[in-house]
Every structure is written in C-alpha cells, then in structure tokens.
Amino acid sequence: MSLYPLKFKTIYKEKIWGGNKLKTQLNKEVPANAKVGETWEVSGIDGDISVVSNGTLEGNSLQDLIEIYMGDLVGDKIYDKYGIEFPVLIKFIDANDDLSIQVHPDNNIAKQRHNAFGKTEMWYVLDAEKDSKLISGFNKTVTKREYLNKLEANEISDILNFEPVKKGDVFFIPAGRVHAIGSGILLAEIQQTSDITYRIYDWDRKDDNGKSRDLHTDLALDVLDFKKHDNYKTQYKTIKNEAVELAKTDYFKTNIIELTKKLEIDIFKIDSFIIYIATEGECDIIYSTKDFINLKKGETVLIPAELNNIILNPKTDNCTLLEVYM
C-alpha cells in the first residue's frame, strides 16, 4: 500500500492550567467541560502513540507504520538510528494560567534515570494576550546554593529571566534550561520524544481536591544550567516563499515558510520525513499528479520520506507553515 501525507487523531491532555484557545483559535474539538491545556498532534510517546485519521491507512498507529514501512516513512538514516521510535513530539499548548517552573534532563541523564530520551524543545508563539510573559533561563549566573536559598524562600522569581511575548516569537529551550510558559500564551511546541519534566515550583497551586502537585527539587538540581545566556529569544526574519531557519539541533530542524505562491520541496535530498504545522491560513500539499491534501490553521501533517517531492500551494493570502524534519 502506497504512502501518502498522514494526518493523525488529536490526543487531548487535560491540565490544571488549560484554557479554551485550542478550540476557539485552532478549531480543536475539545471535550465539553474539559480543561485541555495540550493537544498532541504527532506522538511516539508510549501510551500515546498517534493514530492515522485519513486515507487508506486510517486506524493504524504511527509505530505500526514505522515497523512496516521503515525508512520509506521516516528516512533510512533515521530508521537506522531510532528504529520504531518516532523521534519528535509535536504539541499545541494553551496556557490559561502560568505553567510550573520546570527543567528537562538531557539524553545522558534521561537514559541513566529513566531509560528514555532527554528533552530539548522549541516554542513558536501563535498568540499572546497583552502583557503575557514567559520564563527562559536565569537573569544572572547563580550558584547552586543561591538557587536553593531563593527556592526555599519562595523567591525563585527574583533570579529568573522573564520575556515579554508576542505572536511569532520563537524560543529555543535546550535540556537544562529553566523555563515556564506564562498565562495568556498559545504556542506550538516541537520537542524530542520525551515526557520527562522536573517540576521546580508550581506557584503554591492546588488542584480541585486541594492537593499540590509533586515537585522534583533534587532531580532538577543536577540538570539545571545555572549560567546566564544572551538572547534567549530567537531572532529571525521571514522571506516570502523561502524556508527560514528557526532552530537547528541534533534532534530536529524547524523552519518557517510564508507562502504567497506554489513552492516545490525536494524531500529526497533530506532523507527524512517532514512535518508541516499550519500556523496561519490554508494550503494544499500536492504529492502526485492528481493527489493533494488540504492543511488548515491548527492542523499538522506528516510527509513520508519516500514521496521525494511535493508542492505547497497556498489557498489564502496569509498561509504560514512550520516545517520540521531531522
């Protein structure tokens, strides 16, 4: 059976801080009365493997398809390295309230402690309310002792770097960087396939049953990068009908494309699947002389590596895509 661009059933994640923008802005079918904070669009996380929602392969899991199609689906080099584990996780996140202050381990520590991948990620801001901020890194270089003193005194905010946020902002969050998404922010997250989070501080928040969420102070201590870094926000400028780099890591590459006309993409040279995330507008993705798939804002599609080339054809004036591959 031939491969084609794959869409997947949305995986909904209820969160204490979730809002309603996933429904109102991205047209997600959020379950009634549910506080959904995340949708997982393409996932290889055990227990939350994505399932195809379109075409002749509908109902098959992503992992099953990698077993069957191997490098034809993900790319030969990627299959050789990762086997049937899909290497990236794509999410939308709606923060109606501040998320916890947290950090993620790198591959080495995650392997030792959890037999899992580490978590390097990036954020693309889809929308932000007035005066919204997020946390990325420290505002000065601190020692472990200074950090612990501030944490114990409930003064951790004093040493954190707060960034004002607007639509289109990009933040790269390597493993080890302290971070938190602030209230009023809707974003797309591209990350390694990992669900390991060390929660440092949760704003003294309690759930509906009056319970606080677990903190991971000791685990986080060996992971944190205590240095101050310059330019926590990624600087970039879009160029019409060209892929502009937003992030290039050992784990994924992400570009942004603003489309005003047809654009041909040569997949064969990349030897990787490509994921397109529609952040604005609508386009058709033409993958044979007679076949295409439509992609609207809030939708995500996986292009198999074997398709060789495709054409992106904008259907609206404001079509913008994130392009993710290995």
Q: Is 199 noted as a catalytic residue in this protein? A: yes
Nearest 10 degrees: CA dihedral of 165, 300, 320, 170? 30
With H, G, I as helix, E, B as strand and everything else as coil, classify residue 100: coil
Q: Which of 282, 276, 280 is nearest to 315 (CA)?
A: 282
- Looking at residue 263, its amino acid is L
CB-facing half-sphere around the CA of 183: CA atoms within 13 A: 7
Cα distance between residue 24 and residue 50, in whole Å:
23
What residues contact residue 214 under an 8 Å CB cut-off, 6+ apart?
A: 199
Q: Which of 5, 52, 49 is nearest to 302 (CA)?
A: 5
Do 324 and 257 form a contact (C-beta atoms < 8 A)? no
- Give me the catalytic one of 113, 199, 205, 213: 199
Catalytic residue numbers, as ranges: 199
